[in-house]
Amino acid sequence: MKNAVIGFLGLGSMGLPMCCSLSKNGYSLVLPAYRKEIDASTGFSPIAPDYEKKLAVLNDLLETGAKGASSLEELVEMSDIIIISMPTSKQVEELVLAPNGILNNSRKDTIVIDMTTADPNSTKKLSQMLGEKSIEMIDAPVSGGTIGAINQTLSIMAGGNEEIFEKCRPILEVIGGKIIHIGPIGSGHTIKLVNNFLSGVGTVAVAEAIMVTTKAGISPQKAIEVLRDSGGRNDATMNKFPNYVLPNKEFNFTLNLMTKDLGLYNQIAKGLKIPAFISNTVYQLWNIPVAKGEGDEDCLNIINMYEEWCNVKVRGTVSE
């Protein structure tokens, strides 16, 4: 696999640092240079606030060995392995099914690694269609955020044929710190949605709890200090609140993406006939700011809603 040419689709806040890691570890990359100024989903729209920074990183990769494809078709034709990191299944389906896309232009035995947090049902359908043309696919979503992508410490949960997964393991080990094969195709996307459901629940649960403690006269910092060392420990008390909410920093994950993931989790639960009282309630909470037109804002802006409801100030109460 070290000699494999990797095409990478999705140079956003997660995909771009993954490419940097692969390049530094000697992998040959083909990147979608053709999307620089026409696709906001890759992070290279001129209207994106970090356009110049990401463009500089892309240009550096191209100057240090990565090849720039002039079209999706060219990228697909040049690649032995195609990694996809997109916001939703919709973009993945477009890349696979477009006339100039993966399904119609990949060579036999090409491997597709979808690292999107995606709909497992869509993943299964795409895998079947690709398989009919002898194109392999695994789903390998990640957890750990942009910092994890930069530090190569992401948790990667993979679904698909185990033999194909093992072929891809050396590549995944460059990107992540913990790699687990979960089961058949779609399993990785399923467990990632379960993970994000628990993350969404934990965040709003701690938000509510901190409103209570603050109104009771306990400082947010002291409350988090106790909770993260007690039975209330979770990612919100260990990471989101002390490192992002209290110092008022962005988490780099939008409200739209959170509600998308919670909605997909609800679909899975419904399909399996599992009562989903908690997830339905939590989805509605997260969807309130989205319904107000704030979906593109940082997901931790959900705290603003609680602050407004309770007339309590939590964000920015601790300096870095």
- As annotated, the active-site residues are 192
Amino acid at 271: G
- CA angle 20–178–19, rounded 5-degree value: 10
Q: Which H or E element spans position 14?
A: none
Structure tokens at 187: 């399993």
The token pair at 91 is 């973009």
CA distance 77 to 75: 6
Contact 28, 65 (CB under 8 A): yes
Pairing of strands 142-143, 154-159: antiparallel
The DSSP code sequence of 15-77 is: HHHHHHHHHHTT-EEEE-GGGTTT-GGGT--TTSTTHHHHHHHHHHHHHTTPEEPSSHHHHHH
What Cα–Cα distance (Å) separates residue 31 from each residue in 13, 36, 280?
A: 15, 10, 39
Q: Residues 262, 286: contact at Cβ < 8 Å?
A: yes
Cα of first residue to Cα of last residue in the chain, in angstroms, is: 43
